[in-house]
Chain A
Amino acid sequence: MANQAEYALDMQGIDLYYGYVRALSEINLNVRPGECIALLGDNGAGKSTLLKVISGAHRPTNGTIKVHGREVEFHSPRDSANAGIEMVYQDLALVDAQDTATNLLLGREILRKGILGMMGFLDRKAMKEEAKREVANLGVKIDTLTRPVEMLSGGQRQGVALARSAVRVSKKAEGILLLDEPTAALGYEQKVMVEQMIKRMTANNIAVVLVTHDLPLAFSTANRMVVLNRSRKVADVETAKTNNDEIVGWITGARPAMENL
């Protein structure tokens, strides 16, 4: 078994109460660099809540979180982002009226050289080139980078949002990428694209936590399956050692929880 520092993310004994309601109960979860885990479960099982704990949106009532062996305490999503964790939200958060390059490079715009640059003038051409390169690296297909993103299809918008987080997470050494239902409302082709993007991320030694209802996606991308049922972890198993029926059994609660979790 790997020692502590080998994990990109290591959570121990996470509890979270909403008043009297226990949303998460004694959850242990870890991800290694370059590994993708699928976080599965029915609606209300706690997977989105757990994702929010990792992204810093919620603070756990009990438990410790370690990032690359160092214990951390997140007070806001910004803290988590500073620790190298990037989250792609379901609502994407794109600026509709702006083009792909602007959206992709939001917060890290490229300025012109010289005095104009000091005055904050943008180098649109360089931004377009950079966006083109980043998008190509991720294997995302986008018709035109100069079109406002509101004019793109759902899959392409998803691609822009994913690419934005993916690029940012790649800039950090051994980042952690959190994906919340990345393929909800996507067509077949776009799903394949997301699948490939996740594989590229893990190949670049990025740890990926994937929350999804899409079992085929989980099976094709994740190294390990983690199933939550009514706020508890009921399964944590290597993808190669399980199958669809077992997973569905854990999700629905028809199958008893694994031991030694």
Chain B
Amino acid sequence: MRKLDSLSLLIFARSWGIVILFALLWGAFSIWGFPIFGTFTNFSVILQGASISTIFAASIAMGVFSGALDLSVPGTAALASVILAKCLLSGVNVWAAFAIALAVSVVVGLINSFFTLRGLNPLAVTIGTLSITSGTAALITTGPPLYGFTGLDFIATNRYFGLPAMFYVVMIVYIIGTVFLTQTRGGARFLAAGGNAEALRRSGVNANLYKVLGFVLSGLLAGVAGIVTTAYTTQGNPAAATDSLFTGLTAVALSGISLAGGRGSLPKVLVGSLVIAQITSILNIKNIEPFWGIVITGALLIGALYLELTIQKQVSKRVVQTKSKTPPPAPNTPSAALNAATTQKGA
């Protein structure tokens, strides 16, 4: 039974590693960054700072879960941002402007899925749409960011019960997303489509529908991230925030999944985002060059994926070992009694 124990230990590490890492870093940074880091105020600052990148992470995560890395996310967000700004500047109602920006984001997702399902490489397609969306965003503003609109504070910097509004947006996104993935039939099939679309197809389910859903959800959440960014910075910026791609992807990798699709948990992606935000925060507090943060993010991405790969290999090795070790029986030894019993029926 010792083999099984080390197996469960590995699985435990994979499942809970990110939470443990978060707690360890929190403890270590609280000592290193004493007395500033460990306070509630700093935690609230971390939450606020991480809000936008957690929404980006959710957007990337939805793509990865469904089996496709959607690189167009920052471009979609930039497009949603300038469309929202343009609408508000032309006097469109706030909610109508949200709806228009989100609808455009969904359309980007549909375009991505259209070409991917026809057999193009999703990376190439989404790099293409990244270029198209950020280019279009720049065409709309003719270059510089759009300023001068108001009325978005209620989803950004306004505080409700002591916490910034963005925090609630994050909570809504993650709670709805988690309930969808873990509790509904749509979520189960969505993950199955990412893990093994053929299995879904053979079960008589339209797997392509769920592949489309992956890109649509990724686009929709990118739109939400664009809207919140616009509200927070009070400008419609056509420059695609490509660093959000790296932190988002790192948060997904830190949550302990391979990027192959079919698995994943949004709460862990959230903790992954917070780990990166913790690191940014401690670098700020210790007055260390913020560029270290970028270096560390890259190292975390590779490290997390490598660790996942190692654990995966160990797990499959151990599973194979528990298989029956009996050699195949020699030919010419059919169980004769059973044989006689069954042959009579068809005769």
Query: Which A residues are closer than 8 A to B by beta carbons?
Result: 32, 34-36, 77-78, 81, 89, 91, 93-98, 102-103, 106-109, 111, 119-122, 150-155, 164, 186-191, 195, 199, 202, 215-217, 219-224, 238-240, 244
Which residues of B have CB within 8 Å of A97? 191, 195, 262-263
B188 adjacent to A109 (CB under 8 Å): yes
Q: How many A-B residue pairs have CB under 8 A?
A: 140
13 example contacts (A-B, Cβ-Cβ < 8 A) are as follows: A77-B202, A93-B198, A95-B195, A95-B196, A98-B192, A103-B199, A106-B200, A120-B184, A150-B315, A191-B328, A216-B329, A222-B342, A223-B342
A188 adjacent to B329 (CB under 8 Å): yes
Does B345 belong to the interface (CB within 8 Å)? yes
* Distance between B275 CB and nearest chain A CB, rounded to angstroms: 23
Which residues of B have CB within 8 Å of A93? 196, 198-199, 202
Does B93 belong to the interface (CB within 8 Å)? no
A154 adjacent to B323 (CB under 8 Å): yes
B204 adjacent to A240 (CB under 8 Å): no
Which residues of A have CB within 8 Å of B328? 188, 191
Of the candidates B198, B202, B324, the one having the most CB atoms from chain A within 10 angstroms of its own CB is B202
| Least CB separation from B337: chain A residue | A220
A150 adjacent to B316 (CB under 8 Å): yes
Does B334 belong to the interface (CB within 8 Å)? yes
Of the candidates A97, A119, A122, the one having the most CB atoms from chain B within 10 angstroms of its own CB is A97
8 Å CB contact of B199 from A94, A154, A224, A240: A94
A32 adjacent to B196 (CB under 8 Å): no
Known: A221-B342, A224-B346. A98 touches B191 (CB 8 A): yes
Q: Across chains A and B, which 8 residue pairs bring their CB atoms closest together, nearest first? A: A187-B324, A223-B346, A107-B203, A219-B334, A97-B263, A188-B326, A35-B346, A93-B199
B323 adjacent to A220 (CB under 8 Å): no
Size band of the interface chain B makes with A: 35 or more
Does B287 belong to the interface (CB within 8 Å)? no
B191 adjacent to A244 (CB under 8 Å): no
What separation, in Å, do the CA atoms of A152 and B192 have in the docked complex?
Answer: 17
B347 adjacent to A238 (CB under 8 Å): yes
* Distance between B312 CB and nearest chain A CB, rounded to angstroms: 9
| Least CB separation from A152: chain B residue | B319
B335 adjacent to A220 (CB under 8 Å): yes
Does B90 belong to the interface (CB within 8 Å)? no
A202 adjacent to B331 (CB under 8 Å): no
| Least CB separation from A32: chain B residue | B346
* Distance between A162 CB and nearest chain B CB, rounded to angstroms: 13
Known: A103-B199, A187-B323. A122 touches B183 (CB 8 A): yes
Which residues of B have CB within 8 Å of A191? 328-329
- New A-B contacts (11) at CB < 8 Å, excluding given A153-B324, A215-B334: A95-B191, A97-B262, A97-B263, A107-B205, A122-B183, A154-B320, A188-B326, A189-B324, A216-B334, A240-B340, A240-B343
